[in-house]
Amino acid sequence: MITYDAGTYDIAVIGAGHAGIEAALAAARLGLRTLCFTVNLDSVGNMPCNPAIGGTGKGHLVRELDALGGEMARAADAAGIQFRMLNRGKGPAVHALRVQADRRRYQEIMKHTLERQENLFLRQAEVVSIGLENGRVASVTTHTGAVYGVKAAVVASGTYLGGRTIVGEVVRSSGPDGLAAAGELTRCLEAMGLSLRRFKTGTPPRVNARSVDFSRLERQPGDEDIQPFSFSTPGPVANRAVCWLTYTNERTHEIIRRNLHRSPLYGGVIQGVGPRYCPSIETKVVTFPDKPRHQLFIEPMGLDTEELYIQGLSSSLPEEVQQEVVHSIAGLERAEIQRPAYAIEYDCLDPTELDATLECKKVPGLYGAGQFNGSSGYEEAAVQGFVAGVNAARKLLGLGPFILRRSDGYIGTLIDDLVTKGTDEPYRIMTSRSEYRLLHRQDNADERLSAKGLELGLVSPERHRQVLEKYAAVERELRRLEETHLPPTPALRAMLESRGTAPTVSGTSLADLLRRPQVDYSCLAPFDPGRPPLDRAVQEQVSIRLKYEGYIRRQLRDIQEFQRMEDHRIPPEVDYAAVPGLRSEARQKLAAIRPRSFGQAMRISGVSPADVTALMVWAETGKEGRHGG
């Protein structure tokens, strides 16, 4: 291939999906000349799977990213067509916003955001190799022979790297949505000594709304009380679309069982490992043979299209079998499939080859983000892209690393899980993965992380000031509620009894009343004429703090202990082979992961508490010996 010098930049971001977008924007906003490559400009911000942002756990990530200065939440609000807060019937720790988005509008917004960003240069090209000098990233080369000098590169390749789509017996080299796969970069990364593996994900069929019998579907409207994703969205957002619910049935399951021999999943065609928490319909039928039906959500792809997405019907069965399956479902008996479902295999990295900044340990200046790191989902990708882009920029600027701990939120938990524990399947965030989920709620992400965004230079002083004012109002209201007492009047007694809670026998504070699960701000209003005007978000924070203060206090103590172990650092140059008392497996795992702290060492699979104790004894003995000398 004939090459030519295409110029010099600071950072190359390879991919313009959800990870690449956040990486490129963060780096450019920090003042670095940033190149962002995509195999097709029309695929910037593409949603090849489901046209939605957020959901359980994922909504927490989006709110945290927004608090740090990322872009996804603002774009979701602007392109949103239905807003729903999930898990409202449960505690606030698992409340999670999910926004149905206009797929094409979301892409337009993100592409235009990249195009307008100073220091960011968007290019349509496939990056085929990354050049090194003295073992460090020095350039990237495209399929047209353009060689760009760079000092760092972020690989955010999504499912394009070595992409292979599978529909029944039909196997093609392809990225998502029939776009071209990226192949040559895999060989380059393997030549660098990186450990790659094959993962798999899948999509459901899309059908034409004109051919759907909506009278047979259950209506799923959006929330009446709508909350936007971004803390900075200036005005109200609106529901402009309706989703629908239907179910598979025994006939559906029989069709699938009858055709399992043609399923690539069960016939050995698919080699990649798929996501356990988002299984195909074939896997559901085989795994849960006694379950009579499975939920399917029918969701619009946008306002200016009749294309509908069937969430829950992911498949790689042959196209004609898919058609039979779809037609067995209530409301879809005559549905016209516009896009068949497919599985897609792709190359990705063993994430334990990364440190907490998402930089490769073996190749300085090379960062990974998103599905390249073994994760699954737009939201997981976006937050990793942000962290990778920030760290690539800070390293080139001579600044310290940006590392979020597990005690900081879900982003820290996700990255720590990947780089410390690794993953044998596409990793998906869930609220159960966080030890501190009552503290790491999606509603208080601004309080937890906006100061970090300000310190990075990605959150404006004005926006941070608004956060400080919001939580100052929370503290004022908490003090007022503690200091305001009510006598045990007949009206108060009647209200409490109507709510199913015991009446008071003496004077009590508004705070003590609001601590009761059955009592909320609305029912206290007649007894609290001096209440100042309060924003809904302030009321929410006050209520949560009062109702869960005992649990919150306990988790704060847990975090103090966690941080003590995280602050107990391990020198990076430790020779684990020389540490007495370590088991052979522990030596290997510690040498491979090279944990930053004893806290991280404790979380490595294969490292026992006894191994950590032996390491701590060795470290303390070594220190004493050095001091004594």
- Segment 68-95 shows an average pLDDT of 96
Round to whole Å and give the CA distance between 65 and 72: 8
CATH number at residue 495: 1.10.10.1800
Domain end among 315, 343, 371: 343
Most confident of the ranges 65-79, 275-289, 504-518, 601-615: 65-79
Please tell me whether residues 24 and 154 are part of one structural domain: yes
Please tell me whether residues 140 and 245 are part of one structural domain: no
DSSP alpha helices (H): ranges in 337-434?
378-396, 410-416
Please tell me whether residues 196 and 210 are part of one structural domain: no
Per the structure, the count of domains in the chain is: 4
- For residue 252, tell me if it sits in a domain: yes
Please tell me whether residues 512 and 428 are part of one structural domain: no
- For residue 77, tell me if it sits in a domain: no
Please tell me whether residues 422 and 293 are part of one structural domain: no
- Segment 255-282 shows an average pLDDT of 90
Please tell me whether residues 359 and 376 are part of one structural domain: yes
Please tell me whether residues 127 and 160 are part of one structural domain: yes
- For residue 160, tell me if it sits in a domain: yes
Please tell me whether residues 132 and 27 are part of one structural domain: yes
The predicted pLDDT at position 269 comes to 87
The answer, yes or no, to whether residue 628 has pLDDT greater than 70, is no
**Token pair in block for residue 373:** 């790191």
Please tell me whether residues 364 and 488 are part of one structural domain: no
The answer, yes or no, to whether residue 413 has pLDDT greater than 70, is yes
Please tell me whether residues 127 and 170 are part of one structural domain: yes
The predicted pLDDT at position 157 comes to 97
- Segment 596-617 shows an average pLDDT of 92
- For residue 424, tell me if it sits in a domain: yes
Round to whole Å and give the CA distance between 599 and 562: 7
pLDDT in tens, 336-391: 999 999 999 999 999 999 999 999 999 999 999 999 999 999 999 999 999 999 99
Domain end among 343, 376, 402: 343
Round to whole Å and give the CA distance between 463 and 524: 32
Phi, psi of 339 (to 5 degrees): -135, 120
Please tell me whether residues 263 and 310 are part of one structural domain: yes
Question: What sign does the dihedral 451-454-458-460 (CA atoms) show?
Answer: positive
- For residue 449, tell me if it sits in a domain: no
The predicted pLDDT at position 270 comes to 86
Three-state DSSP state, 152? strand
Instruction: Answer with the residue of higher pLDDT: 578 or 304.
Output: 304
How crowded is residue 60: how many other Cβ atoms within 10 Å of its Cβ? Answer: 33
- For residue 329, tell me if it sits in a domain: yes
- For residue 82, tell me if it sits in a domain: no
Closest CA to 399 of 462, 357, 441, 340: 357
The shares of helix, strand and coil residues in the chain, as percent rounded to the nearest 5, are 45, 20, 40
pLDDT in tens, 222-234: 999 999 999 999 8
CATH number at residue 605: 1.10.150.570
Percent of the chain surpassing pLDDT 90:
91
The predicted pLDDT at position 49 comes to 87
CATH number at residue 249: 2.40.30.260
Round to whole Å and give the CA distance between 269 and 275: 17
The answer, yes or no, to whether residue 54 has pLDDT greater than 60, is yes
Percent of the chain surpassing pLDDT 70:
99
Domain end among 319, 343, 367: 343
- For residue 69, tell me if it sits in a domain: no
The predicted pLDDT at position 431 comes to 93
The answer, yes or no, to whether residue 627 has pLDDT greater than 80, is no
CATH number at residue 17: 3.50.50.60
Please tell me whether residues 116 and 34 are part of one structural domain: yes
| Range of weakest confidence among 216-220, 418-422, 541-545, 561-565 | 561-565
DSSP label of 221: -
The answer, yes or no, to whether residue 551 has pLDDT greater than 50, is yes
Q: What is the extent of the structural domain holding 323?
A: 206-343
